[in-house]
Amino acid sequence: MKSEIQSVEVDLFVHATEDPGKLVRAVADLLGSDRAPVEERLDGHFGNAIVSMKLHLTGEEAERAVKRIFSSLPKELKGVLGADMEKFVDEHAALFLRFDKQRLVLGRLVLGGGDALRVKVKPRKFQMRSGGPQFYRRLLEESGVV
């Protein structure tokens, strides 16, 4: 059977004051993948070092990552996502989530803003007959309490 998820894209910025190793391990734990992110060294506005990290998963690996993320969500966050899924899904049925990086390193999933770990989930086209939000609600329900 073909995977329901086409891809998962994860990206984050690691600032000079952050430990890249801890962030890489936290992302690997979240996704259940040992794939190394692609890194690009950047200079901040004041010349400070910033590393852009990107990870792209496809097919079965992407589907496992989504299921792992959804099953790792605290009950209250599953409720928020289930109730407001339309706020997290764009017109192309891609799901966008942002998690607080510092709490992720501590093993907690909390929605974040600004400087966050960004996750984009793209479903396969054949899944969109029922619409993006309904598709993700179903996956969320399959992962446990909503």
Domain hosting 107: range is 5-142
CATH number for 58? 3.30.1440.10
- The token pair at 76 is 């209250």
Quote the pLDDT of residue 60. Answer: 94
Quote the pLDDT of residue 3. Answer: 84
Please give the span between the terminal C-alpha atoms of the chain, in angstroms, as a whole number. Answer: 26
Quote the pLDDT of residue 32. Answer: 95
Quote the pLDDT of residue 88. Answer: 96
Scanning the chain, the segments in alpha helix (DSSP H) are 20-31, 59-72, 75-83, 101-105, 132-142
Quote the pLDDT of residue 143. Answer: 85
- The alpha carbon dihedral of 85, 87, 93, 94 has a sign of negative
The tens digit of pLDDT for each residue in 39-65 reads 999 988 788 889 999 999 999 999 999
CA distance 19 to 84: 33
Quote the pLDDT of residue 104. Answer: 95
Is the whole-model pTM more than 0.75?
yes
Cα dist from 35 to 25, 32, 121, whole Å: 11, 9, 17
Tell me which of 45 and 35 has the higher pLDDT.
Answer: 35
The tens digit of pLDDT for each residue in 21-30 reads 999 999 999 9
Q: Residue written as tokens 């998820």? A: 5
Quote the pLDDT of residue 8. Answer: 97
The tens digit of pLDDT for each residue in 69-109 reads 999 999 999 999 999 999 999 988 999 999 999 999 999 99
